[in-house]
Amino acid sequence: MGKISRRLKALNSQIVKDQTYKLSEAIHVLKNLANAKFPETAEAHIVLGLEPKYADQQLRATVLLPNGTGKFTKVAVIARGEKVTEALNSGADIAGSEELIEEIAKGRLDFDKLIATPDVMPLIAKLGRVLGPRGLMPSPKAGTVTSNLTQAIEEFKAGKVEYRVDKTGIVHIPFGKMVFTADQLLENIEAVETSINKNKPSGAKGKYWKNFYLCSTMSPSIQIEVSNYK
């Protein structure tokens, strides 16, 4: 385990108490913790009562953060014909057909989100080794395989984020920047909470919310009280 810095020790001892917090209280504590020299990201780390090795206990979904992510999202679109023009007119930063697929196969990855129409998915299959490890492979569950390009592009530009449970049953998700107001951060994390409940896998058994922590990029974590959660 790496050494804990003096700064982190000081924050932990001076601000974070050895207790669980209500969500609104935790946001205010988190705001007091963020003192790095760059705009830190607000993060949530949620331990769920899931065994992702079972198909009916996997969780992968998206949530539209009401106040956005605080960062610019560069969107690429693979489509055909008029859909390419539609994508560009709707705000896509990159759009193309077979030629864009070939560029990506050769290593072009200068985008944050890749959206595709259903008809080109068979052509994109060969990009799995390039896109998969980076989490960029289009998927219906992630909202990145769609015929409604305008809506998809606008939502991802506005702050739609994908999340999934990892192999240990934990969801890691950014929900804004620490320059946001406390109310903005609270609205965003409440949207995350609602989405996780809405998309609860059918095979989930026992206690769904087990542990819930908030932190910023450079801060200690704050534990949230989950006894009243679903």
Look up the CATH number of the domain holding residue 125: 3.40.50.790
Are residue 165 and residue 62 in the same domain, yes or no? yes
Are residue 174 and residue 194 in the same domain, yes or no? yes
Calpha distance 10→4 (Å, rounded): 10
Are residue 90 and residue 199 in the same domain, yes or no? no
Give the sign of the dihedral formed by CA 25, CA 221, CA 161, CA 168: negative
CA 18 to chain centre: 28
Sole residue written with tokens 């917090």: 21
pLDDT along the chain (230 residues), means of 10: 49 61 94 86 97 95 95 96 97 97 95 97 93 92 94 95 95 96 97 96 94 93 86
Are residue 150 and residue 89 in the same domain, yes or no? yes
**Inside any domain, residue 197:** yes
Q: What is the pTM of this model?
A: 0.85
Are residue 63 and residue 81 in the same domain, yes or no? no
Q: How many domains does the chain have?
A: 2
**Inside any domain, residue 229:** no
Q: Give the burial string for 49-86 (b: 16+ CB within 10 Å, else e).
A: ebbbeeeebebebbbebebbbbeebebbbbbeeebbeb
Task: Give the model's pLDDT for residue 4.
Answer: 46
- How confident is the model over 174-206, as pLDDT tens digits? 999 999 999 999 999 999 999 999 999 999 989
In the numeric block, which tokens belong to residue 144? 């990145």
**Inside any domain, residue 56:** yes
